């Protein structure tokens, strides 16, 4: 890896928002390909952030700042990557289910998935089943990810999955669920394909679902 790509990765880990943007621009000015900067700079940095978060060496505020650093760099690369699907891990539609207004965990999963190379379509919070089905039709994602923080809104995950089935879309996407009250047993019971017990494992589950085909 070139020195500037290492510096970009280090900047992501340190949450240096302005520094990462300057380094990404410098790398572009030096003739580095946008895809190379993304894969070997931004994504490498966020992957390390994920590892440190999982090992309790970094905490949510630090991860969020790292993710903001990554986003700043991505915005510079986005016009150059537009229409280029090569190298992308896949596409994810993510949202907090109907009745639940919590989105910090969902946002963190989305950011880490972007850091892992996924294109992320965020439906926000309190998203009803039809919002998920319409997003599948519009964006044709590989994965649908649902989040809930309240035990009272967990059932909305089942309703949403049923709506996806009734719309004839279930065989077109993998479905993963997560959130504080959710566990693997619940995920299996409602027919989800994967379960993430925290933000980092959510990104890992997404990668595993893509690799499994």
Q: 27-55: per-residue pLDDT in tens?
A: 999 999 988 998 899 989 988 988 898 88
C-alpha gyration radius of the chain: 17
As a whole number of angstroms, the distance between CA 213 and CA 166 comes to: 22
Whole-structure pTM value: 0.74
- Taken in order of first residue, the domains within the chain and their CATH numbers are 3-81 (1.10.1240.10), 90-212 (3.40.50.280)
Helix spans in the chain (H)? 3-14, 17-29, 34-37, 43-54, 60-81, 104-115, 129-139, 154-166, 184-190, 199-212
Q: 5-16: per-residue pLDDT in tens?
A: 999 999 999 999
As a whole number of angstroms, the distance between CA 46 and CA 142 comes to: 21
> Taking 50 as the threshold, does the pLDDT of residue 210 lie above it?
yes
H/E element holding 196?
Answer: strand 194-196
Q: 118-145: per-residue pLDDT in tens?
A: 889 999 999 999 999 999 999 999 999 9
Q: Which of 93, 117, 96 is nearest to 105 (CA)?
A: 96
**pLDDT higher for 170 or 103?**
170
Q: 173-187: per-residue pLDDT in tens?
A: 999 999 989 999 999
Q: What is the mean pLDDT of residues 193-201?
A: 87
As a whole number of angstroms, the distance between CA 85 and CA 36 comes to: 14
């Amino acid at each position: 890896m070139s020195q500037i790509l290492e510096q970009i990765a280090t900047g992501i880990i340190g949450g240096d928002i302005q520094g990462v943007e300057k380094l990404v621009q410098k790398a572009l000015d030096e003739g580095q390909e946008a895809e190379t900067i993304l894969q070997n700079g931004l994504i490498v940095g966020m992957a390390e952030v994920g590892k440190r978060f999982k090992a309790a060496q970094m905490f949510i505020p630090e991860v969020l700042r790292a993710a903001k650093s990554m986003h700043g760099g991505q915005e510079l690369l986005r016009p150059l990557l537009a229409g280029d699907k090569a190298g992308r891990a896949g596409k994810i539609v993510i949202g907090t289910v109907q009745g639940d207004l919590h989105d910090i965990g969902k946002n963190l999963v989305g950011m880490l998935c972007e850091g892992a190379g996924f294109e992320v379509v965020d439906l926000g919070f309190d998203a009803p089943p039809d919002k998920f089905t319409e997003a599948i039709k519009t964006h044709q994602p590989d994965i649908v990810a649902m989040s809930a923080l309240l035990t009272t809104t967990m059932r909305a995950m089942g309703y949403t999955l049923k709506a996806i089935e009734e719309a004839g879309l279930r065989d077109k996407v993998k479905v993963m669920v997560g959130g504080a009250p959710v566990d693997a047993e619940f995920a299996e019971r409602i027919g989800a394909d994967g379960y993430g017990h925290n933000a980092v494992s959510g990104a890992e589950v997404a990668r595993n679902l893509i690799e499994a085909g």
